[in-house]
Amino acid sequence: MTTKKILITPGDGIGPEVTEQAVQILKKVAPIFDLQLELTEKPVGGTAYDLTGTPLPDETLDAAKNSDAVLLGAVGGPKWEPLDFSVRPERGLLKLRSELELYANLRPAAIYGDLVNASTLKPEVVDGADLMVVRELTGGIYFGKPRGVEERNGERVGFNTLVYSESEIRRIAKVGFEIAMKRRRKLTSVDKANVLESTEFWREIVTEVGKDFPDAELSHMYADNAAMQIIRDPKQFDTMVTTNMFGDILSDAAAMMTGSLGMLPSASIGGSVGMYEPVHGSAPDIAGEDKANPLAMILSVGMMMRYSFDLTEADEMIINAVVETLEKYRTVDIMAEGKTQIGCREMGEKVLQSLEQNNS
């Protein structure tokens, strides 16, 4: 038995509801793969602010740094919107990501079973699509300096800087190749090398890193074309690696193939501790009503198994249980004709039952 320390930070809104279901799944799957869990729960976001006056208390940050992985629900909500920017719930999350040096964000977009009909794209376009966007998370134009708004020649000017160092590109390219090697070995690097020198440099370095991965098939695509191709023919993609801003936009575009926010897990990796969270927010409009879809959070547990603990099979086991459950049951956000509508808690229980049946 290996022991893994996992920090659970349920957060705000529907965060605690979906986290409760995900933790049940975590507890079920871990022993099957000889993992002994040491779970610690700490507050983050608005809940943490209410308790301590800060959205990321030191004890939460220390616990995160001392864990093998972090599972986070969601943060934010109207209650905390009037607060000063520096103590808003979302600041807590951003600080946690940066303190843990999570420079690679993994956002898979796959169609699970007959959810193909929940997509706004034609079934024949999305059926079988399964892609992963690897987004650089801590550099690029969102962080580059100089930045700001100032007066120049009698008028106001807004400016930001797109800057990437060689080491930043190397490390994200390496993650891209490593992920691709665990998938179908195809990596598409997305840039605007035709107009931006910084991404011409990106292309050069990604190509160089590719020499260490001779079995991976590397291609390059301009960001505007990539946006179009994701909608036109998503099945052509396996793994995409790209800058912070292009990744922000392309991962949302890719996500919409799947139809619902409630189905999208994510992982942020790079430092010594990986963080796993659903893509959705705290959904204050449905919080406390047992309506939330817990599957994005449950699938995030699968990503933890795969990317922090190298347990691909555990992730596959969770995905299979989710697909099986979806054949009969749906939460309201993905409800379809012929299926039985259930709430958050029951959806968690059904996935658990499916796992139990497959492992009895």
- By CB under 6 A, name the one of 93, 205, 275, 342 that touches ligand NAD: 93
Looking at residue 119, its amino acid is S
Q: Cβ 262 to ligand NAD, closest distance in Å?
A: 3
Q: Which two tokens stand for residue 61?
A: 């940050």
Give the integer Cα–Cα distance in Å for 158 and 141.
Answer: 13
Q: Do the Cβ atoms of 71 and 23 come closer than 8 Å?
A: yes
Q: Which is nearer to ligand NAD, 46 or 270 (by Cβ)?
A: 46
Under the binding rule (CB under 6 A), the answer on residue 259 touching ligand NAD is no
Q: Cβ 3 to ligand NAD, closest distance in Å?
A: 28
Residue 12 bears catalytic tag: no
Under the binding rule (CB under 6 A), the answer on residue 330 touching ligand NAD is no
CB atoms within 10 A of CB 174: 16
In DSSP terms, which residues pair with 161 in a beta bridge?
A: none
Residue 73, SS3? Answer: strand
Q: Which two tokens stand for residue 210?
A: 């590719």
Residue 65 bears catalytic tag: no
Selection from 276, 244, 317 nearest residue 93 by Cα: 276
Q: Which is nearer to ligand NAD, 38 or 289 (by Cβ)?
A: 289
| H or E, element range at 89 | helix 89-99
Residues 6+ apart with CB under 8 A from 256: 119, 120
Under the binding rule (CB under 6 A), the answer on residue 118 touching ligand NAD is no
Under the binding rule (CB under 6 A), the answer on residue 76 touching ligand NAD is yes
Residue 191 bears catalytic tag: no
Q: Of the listed pieces 53-61, 156-164, 181-189, 282-290, which binds ligand NAD according to CB under 6 A?
A: 282-290
Give the integer Cα–Cα distance in Å for 86 and 66.
Answer: 25
| H or E, element range at 25 | helix 15-32
- Active-site annotation holder among 192, 238, 276, 350: 192
- By CB under 6 A, name the one of 16, 55, 57, 262 that touches ligand NAD: 262
CA–CA distance from 30 to each of 3, 33, 83, 268 (Å)? Answer: 10, 5, 39, 21
Under the binding rule (CB under 6 A), the answer on residue 285 touching ligand NAD is yes
Q: Do the Cβ atoms of 218 and 207 come closer than 8 Å?
A: yes
Residue carrying the six token digits 């399964």:
130
- Active-site annotation holder among 212, 224, 285, 310: 224
Under the binding rule (CB under 6 A), the answer on residue 17 touching ligand NAD is no
Residue 285 bears catalytic tag: no
Looking at residue 132, its amino acid is M
Under the binding rule (CB under 6 A), the answer on residue 90 touching ligand NAD is yes
Residue 164 bears catalytic tag: no
Q: Cβ 60 to ligand NAD, closest distance in Å?
A: 14
- Active-site annotation holder among 12, 248, 315, 333: 248
Q: Cβ 292 to ligand NAD, closest distance in Å?
A: 4
Under the binding rule (CB under 6 A), the answer on residue 284 touching ligand NAD is yes
Q: Cβ 166 to ligand NAD, closest distance in Å?
A: 30
Interface ranges with ligand NAD (CB under 6 A): 14, 18, 74-77, 90, 93, 261-262, 277, 280-286, 292-293, 296, 333
Question: Which residues carry out catalysis?
Answer: 142, 192, 224, 248, 252
